[in-house]
Amino acid sequence: MAYTAIELIETKRDRSVLSPDAIEWLIGAYTDGSVPDYQMSAMAMAILLNGMNSDELTAWTEAMLHSGEVMDFSEIAAAKVDKHSTGGVGDKISIPLVPVVAACGVYVPMISGRGLGHTGGTLDKLESIPGFTTGLTPDEFRKVLTEHGLVLAGQSETMVPADRKLYALRDVTGTVPSIPLIASSIMSKKLAEGLDGLLLDVKTGSGAFMKDLVHARALAHTMVGIGASHEVDTVAFITSMSQPLGNEVGNANEIKESIDVLRGEGPADVSELTMVFGETMLELAGVDGGRERLDDAIRSGAALQKFIDVTEAHGGDASVIEDPSLLVRAPHEAVIAAPADGYVTRCDAFIIGVSATWLGAGRERKKDIPDPGVGITLKAKIGDEVAKGDPLAIVRYGDQTKWETQSDTLSSAWTVSERPVSAPELIIERVDVTTI
């Protein structure tokens, strides 16, 4: 059946339902350029305002998924499971998680992203390892996965091209914060990986895109529902992003902390989340042994060895994994000091993420290349007792002018009060097909 973009925009504007056929036509015509950006942006705004029902969401995700190449790893007998985080500050979990899960026999074909806004990206972090290439062809991706049981790459040109175009359009038309558009964007890319299971980490709090629990929960439920309708077992965790994860923010800093986790010496929150997510990924893969098996992979060095192997397979210099002091560090150092005696009651992930980005760990403009050596080491987080003058953070930076514009902002991320508070609960909720 033939459609026109205008009639479909009017259908959604008037709160009527788009048929699966109409959605398939629209996504196809947008991908091949016959529907222009201005009509798709009107449609995205109509969806943002009026939502989609579950049939529309299924059809939209399906059409996005099939707008390009869908990978098929059925020749690999072992289960293929991946993880996706909606993004946060200091969120390096994928880097220790993927090797530890792969060391337990589960294949992980991970496609990751770059930093977005104030949040860091796994690809930017991995590229702080000299030589590590994240842009693999589909054949190279398959080869690394088959040989090592894990691969950590960026999205290829041929995967979900509809999302590549639509995401860039939403970014400049105020249509990012739509739960059906976010859910279909994330899930179409994950479903294109040919997975058996998927773990989702939906962050909530100041440093997350979903600032409150109500929206985080709605996004988690929507994505778990899409996974179920595509027969991919999907579990989501809603986790706190009110303060950064771990003690390191910045690309090389986070690689160092990930290596600490793989050596069994990581900070409690990063290690705990890695293990809880690892157990769930093993469960999704139908692999027995859970926590004990993961602990073993760390204790024996098998997980660290997987990280060394995958680094070499991506062309990276694995000597920095054996000796993280070889990782690049920006030349200058500054200290943020506690303004008074007391207890840290706030350590704001958003402010710390924005400052790290502006200091050069992320991008101000799309074409910027992050500085891998810029980073913030947190010395005090929520619940910690400090004395006046104690370091709250140590900052490494390369550009003095940038530091001068950021030092007050970064200092404002901490509140030190007389009364102690407890650290926020790390894992807020688990969502799976039985709970939606």
Does residue 332 have an active-site annotation?
no
Task: Tell which residue, 197, 194, 151, has the closest CA to residue 306.
Answer: 151
Q: For residues 244 and 355, give the distance between their C-alpha atoms in angstroms, rounded to a whole number.
A: 13
Angle CA 309–314–319, to nearest 5: 55
**Of 184, 266, 221, 263, nearest in space to 429 by CA:** 221
- Of the residues 189, 203, 379, 396, which is catalytic? 189
Does position 280 bind ligand URA by CB under 6 A? Answer: no
Minimal distance in Å, beta carbon 214 to ligand URA?
18
Stretch that binds ligand URA, among 180-188, 328-336, 378-386, 399-407 (CB under 6 A): 180-188
Count CB atoms within 10 A of the CB of residue 113. 18
Closer of 181 and 338 to ligand URA (Cβ): 181
Q: Which is nearer to ligand URA, 112 or 311 (CB)?
A: 112
**Annotation marks residue 230 as catalytic:** no
Distance CA 434, CA 252 (A): 39
Q: Is residue 395 a contact residue for ligand URA (CB under 6 A)? A: no
Q: Which of 80, 84, 329, 379 is catalytic?
A: 84
How distant, in Å, are the alpha carbons of 120, 329, 337, 375 from that of 332? Answer: 21, 9, 16, 11
User: Residue 261 CA to chain centroid, in angstroms?
Assistant: 18
Please work out the total of residues on this chain that contact ligand URA, with binding judged by CB under 6 A.
Answer: 6
> Which span sits near ligand URA by CB under 6 A: 34-42, 181-189, 390-398, 417-425?
181-189
Contact call for residue 60 and ligand URA (CB under 6 A): no
190 is an active site residue: no
Burial 239-259 (b: 16+ CB within 10 A, else e): bbbbbbbbbbbbbbbbbbbbb
Instruction: Provide the minimum distance between the beta carbon of 121 and ligand URA in the complex, in angstroms, as a whole number.
Output: 10
Cβ-count burial 46-57 (b if 16+ within 10 Å, e if not): bbbeeebeeebb
Residue pair 106/96 in contact by the 8 Å Cβ criterion = no
For residue 295, give the amino acid letter. D
167 binds ligand URA (CB under 6 A): yes
The CA-based dihedral angle spanning residues 253, 259, 261, 263, taken in that order and rounded to the nearest 10 degrees: -150
Rounded CA separation 365/99 (Å): 32
Which single residue brings its beta carbon nearest to ligand URA?
185
179 or 330, CB closer to ligand URA?
179
Q: CB neighbours (10 Å) of residue 394?
A: 15
Write down the catalytic residue from 12, 80, 125, 170: 170
Q: Which CB, 184 or 251, lies closer to ligand URA?
A: 184
Please say which residue, 176 or 302, places its beta carbon nearer to ligand URA: 176
Distances (CA, A) of 129 to 185, 253, 311, 313, 359: 29, 11, 8, 13, 20
Residue 184 token pair = 């279909």
Q: Give min distance, CB of 28 to ligand URA, in A.
A: 20
Q: Which of 82, 91, 124, 163 is catalytic?
A: 163
Q: How far is it, in rounded angstroms, from Cα 93 to Cα 266?
A: 11
Q: Is 84 a catalytic residue?
A: yes
106 versus 123: smaller Cβ distance to ligand URA: 123
CB of 167 to ligand URA, least distance (A): 6
Tell the smallest beta-carbon distance from residue 120 to ligand URA (Å): 14
d(CA 164, CA 27): 12
Q: Which is nearer to ligand URA, 170 or 329 (CB)?
A: 170
Rule CB under 6 A: say whether 187 interacts with ligand URA: no
182 near ligand URA, rule: CB under 6 A: yes
In this chain, which stretch among 93-101, 179-187, 267-275, 371-379 interacts with ligand URA, using CB under 6 A? 179-187
> Closest distance between ligand URA and the C-beta of residue 192, in Å?
12
Q: Does 185 bind ligand URA (CB under 6 A)?
A: yes
Nearer to ligand URA by Cβ, of 131 and 177: the residue is 177
The helix/strand/coil state of 334 is strand
Residue 186 within binding range of ligand URA, rule CB under 6 A: yes
Active-site annotation holds for 163: yes
Q: Is residue 44 at the binding interface for ligand URA, with CB under 6 A as the rule? A: no
* Interacting span for ligand URA (CB under 6 A) from 175-183, 247-255, 288-296, 329-337: 175-183
Q: Please report, as ranges, the residues that interact with ligand URA according to CB under 6 A.
A: 167, 176, 181-182, 185-186
Question: Which positions are catalytic?
Answer: 84, 163, 170, 185, 189
